[in-house]
Structure 1
Amino acid sequence: MTVVADMFFHHYGRIIVVLSMLREEDMGNYSGDELALLCKLQPFIEYSLNVVYLTQRQQERTSNTEKDGLAERELDVIELLLSGASNKAIAVDLCPGLATVKTHLHHIYQKVSVQSRSELVANVLLNLQG
């Protein structure tokens, strides 16, 4: 069995990240001091996520929208695709249905001028680095 401590990070009341810390059962439960330390770290990490991560993520989304004319929902599909999600998993997460996900991917391929999922991922990662 594994012992878990979860930290939830919010942006305007909405959970944006969950960090799960796992340890083997033989290491014992998290002590009160360890949990208190995590509680002290939580606001700093949350602030960093909001100021650095979300700002950069929004800039990347805006850049992709302007460069390739991608719609917000298409960017959502790309983000899930980059995380390794299957079409079915994307459909479950975004709730549009599998056929709609395939339609989004078809439109994305046309706009980005790629022929495949792997070519799309390589193109997006290259753009993020440049």
Structure 2
Amino acid sequence: ALPIFTLRLYEGETLGVVGESGCGKSTFARAIIGLVKATDGHVAWLGKELLGMKPDEWRAVRSDIQMIFQDPLASLNPRMTIGEIIAEPLRTYHPKMSRQEVRERVKAMMLKVGLLPNLINRYPHEFSGGQCQRIGIARAL
């Protein structure tokens, strides 16, 4: 169980969650994005209550909130290229975006996290753990 606490994050701020192993960091993050059911409390994003939100309501919220998982290789689909992995949220949340624009945005995100765009058609198993973490960050961006 997580202790009771209040957190306010304002526009332009970034949040990093740190703590000892087993203290509830992952549970906290998963509850915020709706991957685990919180049993008590209040979580709001831009004035919308997240706890109890219906799956179709989460769609709009998830375009703003992303999670970068601890184990990067386990969170990347081994059957997809890294280009497809990074593009997936763009295609989901911006369905009218052209294929060319998606590809350009993917390449820009790759550069932003220190991955060369010519690696776009490679698979997760071809990268180191640190590189896979950067793929996850690019996907979240």
- TM-score of the pair, normalised by structure 1: 0.29
**Which has the bigger relative contact order, CA under 8 A and spacing at least 6?**
2
- TM-score of the pair, normalised by structure 2: 0.27
Relative to its length, the structure with more strand (as a share) is: 1
Relative to its length, the structure with more helix (as a share) is: 1
